[in-house]
Amino acid sequence: MGIKGLMPFLSDSAPSCVKETKMEAMTGRVIAIDASMCLYQFLVAVRQGASQSNLANEAGEVTSHIQGFLSRTVRLLECGIRPVYVFDGKPPELKRETLREREERKQEADGELAAAMESGDADAIKKASHRTVRATPQMNADVQELLRLLGVPVVLAPCEAEASCAALCKAGKVYATATEDMDALTFGTPKMLKNLFDTESSRTAQKRPVFELTLSRVLEQLDVSMATFIDFCILCGCDYCGTIRGIGPATAFKLLKLHGSLEAAVATIDANKLPPEEQWQISEARALFSSPPQVDPSQVDLKWTSPDVAGLKSFLIDRHSFNEGRVTKVVERLSACRAAGSQSRLESFFTAKAPKTLPASEKFNPFAKRAAGSPATKRAREIGGGSNTGKAKVQRKQLS
DNA sequence: ACTCTGAATCCAGACGTA
DNA sequence: TGATTCAGAGT
DNA sequence: TACGTCC
């Protein structure tokens, strides 16, 4: 979920916070990853056959998530990235309504799935089954065991994973948080990576680059404090409050600039357009974003160790019916990158990156008129890091 | 006229082989 | 669930 | 690159 419409808004209004990069550029870095989100994605994506069923072991237990985590993690390690997987804890009370709605939709999908199976409509089965996915405690335990065997650190967040990722990043324990969820920024992650796992797959031809977002640049170019940014995100719409019809990022930002505080901005809105009281706990949402329950980074000891080969084989082959030959290959890949695993980045000499201040002229003005005329203004994908020398690198091939 | 929101729609991993 | 596209409401 | 397979 995250913050409604935040990414397009930042691309347009604070382009200097977005930098294009590649996974290969992350070699030697420690990256925090929202494990619960990965788990969900693997369950949705790793499927097969007309019935779109998950992979399963001989006992009939789903193994899609194990397959997904295994191959992705090996890929990261081969790339010299040191991943830290952060698991969700107990969801905050404020999220209750969001979770209730989500569960409601899943139950609807359950019904649709049953109906589709009845009628044998393969297409409908496929669509409905993707919406009925639920991550079970057992699946979380499976993944944690796998990661332990791989020698990759696991962090159990007390509450939202994104909040603990942010804490680790603020403390300098990780370089960035890799997530698709924009509220990582709202939780205060200094750096986040978006699309890190996008594969250069063929079909869609839309190989999006990895985006590196820098929170300090967001605040600088939008010319707001962190507190105001949090208020802005709440007004845009987040998991913890309802949304206000007719208010999106652009309007939300103008209102905050005009009136200073969230309360003052909201006071100018027709009262019966606001969500009901119980879904509009502004100050509670604000508190959750600014000081959420999170791990204490000083208590977290991150270690990457050699894999427990025997344990890994037993877990994958005996317990989960993986093919022995394939597992052997995975183990070989792991030991191959182990040698390169301790490599650290050798770039600190060059990157004495001067924290160049953004010229006032480049600060976002929400009241300025848009540059008219340019026909390509529609979706200006200027994400070149704001450098004015940046030629618009338009390399999009539009066939047909 | 222009901009924005919100509903509708499509899609969702990673690997190896041919 | 997110990204993208389109229609229509709001300004 | 396109497509089938992983369990």
CATH number at residue A145: 3.40.50.1010
Q: d(Cα A341, Cα A237) in Å, to the nearest integer?
A: 41
User: Is any atom of nucleic acid chain C found less than 7 Å from the CB of residue A2?
Assistant: yes
Would residue A208 count as lying in a domain?
yes
Would residue A213 count as lying in a domain?
yes
Q: Which residue is nearest to nucleotide C9 (CA to C1')?
A: A246
More confident residue, A366 or A342: A366
Nearest nucleotide over every DNA/RNA strand to the A249 CA, judged by C1': B4
Q: How many domains does chain A have?
A: 1
Would residue A296 count as lying in a domain?
no
Give tens-digit pLDDT for A234-277.
Answer: 999 999 998 888 888 999 999 998 888 899 998 888 887 788 88
Residues with Cβ within 8 Å of residue A68, at least 6 apart in sequence: A38, A41, A42, A45, A46
Would residue A173 count as lying in a domain?
yes
pLDDT band at A353 (very low <50, low <70, confident <90, very high): low
Q: What are phi and psi for residue A251, nearest 5 degrees? A: -65, -40
Residues 371-400 of A with CB under 7 A from strand C: 379
Q: d(Cα A391, Cα A387) in Å, to the nearest integer?
A: 9
Residue A102 has pLDDT above 80, yes or no: yes
The 10 Å Cβ neighbour count of residue A152 is 22
Would residue A321 count as lying in a domain?
no
User: Is any atom of nucleic acid chain C found less than 7 Å from the CB of residue A180?
Assistant: yes
Under 8 Å between Cβ of A257 and A13? no
Give tens-digit pLDDT for A107-118.
Answer: 877 777 777 777
What the block records as the tokens of A55 is 């992979």
Would residue A356 count as lying in a domain?
no
Under 8 Å between Cβ of A140 and A39? yes
Q: Domain limits at A168? A: 7-219+335-341
The DSSP letter of residue A62 is B
Q: What is the pLDDT of residue A74?
A: 96
pLDDT band at A339 (very low <50, low <70, confident <90, very high): low
Q: Tell me which H or E stretch contains A185.
A: helix A183-186
Strand D: list protein residues with Cβ under 7 Å.
Answer: A 46-48, 55-57, 63, 66-67, 200, 202-203, 320-323, 326-327
3-state DSSP assignment of residue A2: coil
pLDDT band at A369 (very low <50, low <70, confident <90, very high): low
The model's pTM: 0.89
Q: What is the pLDDT of residue A344?
A: 60
User: Is any atom of nucleic acid chain C found less than 7 Å from the CB of residue A181?
Assistant: yes
Q: d(Cα A378, Cα A227) in Å, to the nearest integer?
A: 31
User: Is any atom of nucleic acid chain C found less than 7 Å from the CB of residue A7?
Assistant: yes
Q: Which amino acid does the sequence have at A272?
A: N
Strand D nucleotides where any atom sits below 7 Å of a protein CB? 1-3, 5-7
Nearest CA among A288, A285, A236 for reference residue A265: A236
* Angstrom distances, CA of residue A276 to CA of A71, A87, A148, A242, A286: 45, 31, 45, 8, 17
Would residue A97 count as lying in a domain?
yes
Strand B nucleotides where any atom sits below 7 Å of a protein CB? 2-6, 11-16
Would residue A254 count as lying in a domain?
no
Strand C nucleotides where any atom sits below 7 Å of a protein CB? 1-5, 10-11
3-state DSSP assignment of residue A20: strand
Nearest CA among A378, A357, A386, A85 for reference residue A213: A386
What mean pLDDT do residues A44-58 have?
Answer: 91
Nearest CA among A48, A50, A87, A92 for reference residue A69: A87
User: Is any atom of nucleic acid chain B found less than 7 Å from the CB of residue A364?
Assistant: no
User: Is any atom of nucleic acid chain B found less than 7 Å from the CB of residue A71?
Assistant: yes
Q: What is the pLDDT of residue A340?
A: 53
Q: What is the pLDDT of residue A342?
A: 54
User: Is any atom of nucleic acid chain B found less than 7 Å from the CB of residue A203?
Assistant: yes
Q: What is the pLDDT of residue A371?
A: 56
Q: Of A47-61, A250-264, A350-364, which gets the smallest average pLDDT? A: A350-364
Nearest CA among A237, A241, A245 for reference residue A270: A245
Nearest nucleotide over every DNA/RNA strand to the A72 CA, judged by C1': B14
User: Is any atom of nucleic acid chain C found less than 7 Å from the CB of residue A208?
Assistant: yes
Q: Tell me which H or E stretch contains A214.
A: strand A210-214
Give tens-digit pLDDT for A282-301.
Answer: 999 999 999 999 999 999 99
Residues 257-276 of A with CB under 7 A from strand B: none
pLDDT band at A225 (very low <50, low <70, confident <90, very high): very high
Q: Of A136-145, A155-164, A388-397, which gets the smallest average pLDDT? A: A388-397
How high is the mean pLDDT of chain A? 84
Nearest nucleotide over every DNA/RNA strand to the A54 CA, judged by C1': D7
Q: How much of chain A, in percent, has pLDDT values that exceed 90?
A: 60
Q: Which residue is nearest to nucleotide B12 (CA to C1')?
A: A45
More confident residue, A140 or A365: A140
Q: Of A25-34, A100-109, A310-319, A337-346, which gets the smallest average pLDDT? A: A337-346
